[in-house]
Structure 1
Amino acid sequence: MKWKGVLCFVVLAAMALWPVKTSADTVPSVSAKAAIVVSADDGRVVYAKNEHDRLPIASTTKIMTSLLTLEAAEVNNRVITVTPEMIRVEGSSMGLRAGDKLTLYDLAVGMLMVSGNDAANTAALSIGGTIENFAAMMNAKAASLGMKDTHYVTPSGLDDKEHYSSAYDLALLTRAALQNTQFANIVRQKSIQVHFLNPNMTHSYGNHNKLLSFYQYCTGVKTGFTKKSGRCLVSSAEKDGVRLIAVTLNDPNDWEDHEKLLDYGFSCLVSRSVNDSSTSISLPIVGGVQETVQVIGTAGENVVIGANDQLKRTVELPQFVYAPAKKGQVLGRVCYTCGGKIVAQTELVAAEDVPQAPKQKMWFQILWEAILDLFSGG
């Protein structure tokens, strides 16, 4: 809709939209070689340290591997028969044996819960045919997400000099992964049962992410460790409508550091309600059976802003509209801006039908109708 002759009413948002006056906690000092904290909603960075450094990432690699596996499972969650080649890999395992049968989805569970290298290899070979083909799929996905400091070689994250990523890129990846409902649901669970079709039995797998127990707001995501990479951790958390992602690479004190980083992130951001359902405005209407049409607001999604930022509310409506107006017809909008950037908007719609008024007849039309009535004997 083009806003020609628009009337704009600019007001500071109501009390529910005013920023909470808090003093952000002192910027934390962490032992990680690289770290970052971002908003999971809009990707804004609230803390960073060497965030673009290319470093080994160990099993946080499986965020990408499991995401590709879950995407493949959404198309066809086929049953995979495990071969000796698939489980010929060292390191952490979900205990797969040759001849086992389970679904692609369950392989993703094994990667994310117990960091199964066997699960990652099995999924990679099942989807890509070869490890090299699957690595190419991983790199293509990384490129599509804007991960400029990332290159994958293995699906598991075992050390390779050409296998690396950055804290920033892992945050980008995790934002995308958490938009996958199945991924988000798996990583927040402390344990999950997996049913094998062969042998016909169920295994229970506990999550290696201890932050789910240590930190009350934690909602995921993935641990990692090799001697070369050191301790790596990607976490997500949610509090009072604010969702955060934290990444640390090569951090000997990652559990404690993530608590500090997430607490700091929550002190920097707040969630504000965007709801105009109580708004009601009378708007002039031209050519209708009445002089005005009632316009009402609609509800919107909450918006996350800086703790000390102000949210500005602007009502945009034309000076008038032409009849007819249909109930629910969009006639205007309410824009919410922060720092000059639109962060949310809601629609203003007609609350009622306003039909077009009957047109008045011209004198010659009246005369002509009278003549017709005369000759018709009316």
Structure 2
Amino acid sequence: MITGFSRRVAVTACSLCVAGTLALAPAAASTAHRAGDPAPPGPRASVPQPSLLHRSGTQVKLRRGAPEVPDVSALSWLVADADSGEVLAAADAHRELPPASTMKTLFALTVLPGLPSGMRHTVDYRELEDVGEGSSLVGVEEGHSYQVADLWRGVFLSSGNDAVHVLASLGGGWQTTARKMQAKARSLGALDTHVVSPDGYDADGQVSSAYDLAVFGRAGLRNPDFARYCSTVRAQFPGDGWPYQIENTNRLLTGEDGVAPYPGLIGIKNGYTSNAGNTLVAAARHDGRTLVVTVMNPQEGGGFAVYEEARQLLDWGFASAGWVDPVG
């Protein structure tokens, strides 16, 4: 289950000792041992079995007559009910992979609540000097004044790393923001994520997982500001003298570049880097039910395969209602 508060437990000899004591002490105390009787067998501590979601390969529990899970090429993927947190199916859900700009979901969860949307800020050149080469940009310029809401639209629609750098500066600085993001991930039970660059730019050791990204997406939808930004298709962004239009780069939301828009799509976040490939965490709502899917690095089908594989998984998730048992 994606709860936002689940934990993976590393079992050590010591922790087994403690667990055995807590679980077995009452039963041992209730049995008296008389002199001369054979000694009772010692307690047997049961070792917790790993969740199905920690196993490799596709994990699903289909009932008789259930639709077959789509055969997709992503290195890792997950389909979950956003309301209950039940994972309907997944493949290598905890595999640690570069997340690209889907890391911005965790960035927003961490920084957005502390910055009033109407606050204005004049950008200093130092806030932009470390933006990674080749980064996606929304067009933030030094010396210009922006509302925080403008910058968030730049993050969610244009995946602007320039906007992320400015917001991170307002949130305490780049490294401080990375540490806060790491703590936020841990607090949500997302233990596969290691934050190095808050904008998702390729960095040594920076990873997340399909499970963790679904946790971030689900948590984000509970924040009205996050939900509004991630579902916005188009907006005006302040420019040099007059605003210009920006458009969400999530093709399942906009229907651009020949990708058909997905009915009921709420949004969330897509990403791409040469190291991560194409990544996506998305949510859609049909008939009062909301699903969240993560797709990480499809190996076939070109740059837009991430959307088509997400479409297949969403279709399956809605069609399988009542036909599958959760795997986590």
- For 2:222, the equivalent position in structure 1 comes to 179
The alpha-carbon deviation at position 307 of structure 1 amounts to 4.4
* Residue 219 (str. 1) matches residue 266 (str. 2): yes
Tell me if 1:65 matches 2:111: no
CA–CA distance in 2 between the matches of 1:201 and 1:141? 37
Aligned counterpart, 1:55: 97
TM-score, normalising length from structure 1?
A: 0.63
- Do the aligned partners of residues 22 and 101 (structure 1) sit closer, same or farther apart at CA in structure 2, a change above 3 Å counting? farther
CA distance in 1, matches of 2:217, 2:242: 32
Deviation at 1:235?
A: 0.9
1:115 to 1:70, Cα distance in 2 relative to 1, 3 A: same
> CA offsets, 1:339-363, max 9 Å, x none?
xxxxxxxxxxxxxxxxxxxxxxxxx
Shift of 1:59: 0.5
- Secondary structure of residue in 1 paired with 2:125: coil
Residues of 2 paired with 1:185 and 1:36: CA distance? 23
CA positional deviation for 1:77: 4.2
Give the root-mean-square deviation of aligned CA atoms: 2.1
| Runs of 5+ unmatched residues, structure 2 | 1-62
Deviations 1:89-116 (Å, cap 9, x if unpaired)? 1310010111111122221110100100
Partner of 2:319: 267
Structure with greater proportional strand content: 1
The yes-or-no answer on 1:81 pairing with 2:116 is no
CA distance in 2, matches of 1:308, 1:178: 24
Q: Which residue of 1 aligns with 2:20?
A: none
Q: How does 1:134-173 map to 2 (within 5 A)?
A: 134-173=177-216
Query: How many residues matched?
Result: 250
> Deviations for 1:72-92, whole angstroms, at most 9, x for unmatched residues?
224x74212112222221310
Counterpart of 1:203, as a letter, is Y
TM-score by length of 2: 0.72
User: Matched residue of 1:250: which SS?
Assistant: strand
- 79, 82, 94: which is aligned to 1:40? 82
Please give the alpha-carbon distance, in whole angstroms, between the structure 1 residues aligned to 2:296 and 2:324.
30
Identity %: 37
Alpha-carbon distance between aligned partners in 1 of 2:66 and 2:250, rounded to the nearest angstrom? 27
Aligned residue identity for 2:169: L
Q: How does 1:1-378 map to 2 (within 5 A)?
A: 23-74=65-116, 77-88=118-129, 89=131, 90=133, 91-128=135-172, 130-195=173-238, 201-212=242-253, 213=255, 214=260, 215-251=262-298, 252=302, 253-269=305-321, 306-307=322-323
Q: CA deviation at 1:163?
A: 1.1
Partners of 1:52 and 1:166 within 8 A in 2: yes
Query: Shift of the alpha carbon at 1:139?
Result: 0.7
Q: Structure 1: how far apart are the matches of 2:128 and 2:64?
A: 52
Shift of residue 58, structure 1, vs aligned partner: 0.4
CA 73–59 in structure 1, closer or farther in 2 if over 3 Å, else same: same
CA distance in 2, matches of 1:94, 1:308: 42
Separation of aligned partners in 1, 2:269 and 2:114: 20
Question: Counterpart of 2:205 in structure 1: which amino acid?
Answer: E
Higher helix share: 2
For residues 12-45 of structure 1, the C-alpha deviation after alignment (integer angstroms, 9 at most, x for no partner) is xxxxxxxxx9943211111100000111101111
CA distance, structure 2, for counterparts of residue 200 and residue 60 of structure 1: 32
Of structures 1 and 2, the larger Rg is shown by 1
In the other structure, the counterpart of 1:281 is none
Preserved contact between residue 88 and residue 324 of structure 2 (Cα < 8 Å)? no
CA-CA distance at 1:193 after TM superposition? 2.1
Partner amino acid, structure 2, of 1:27: V
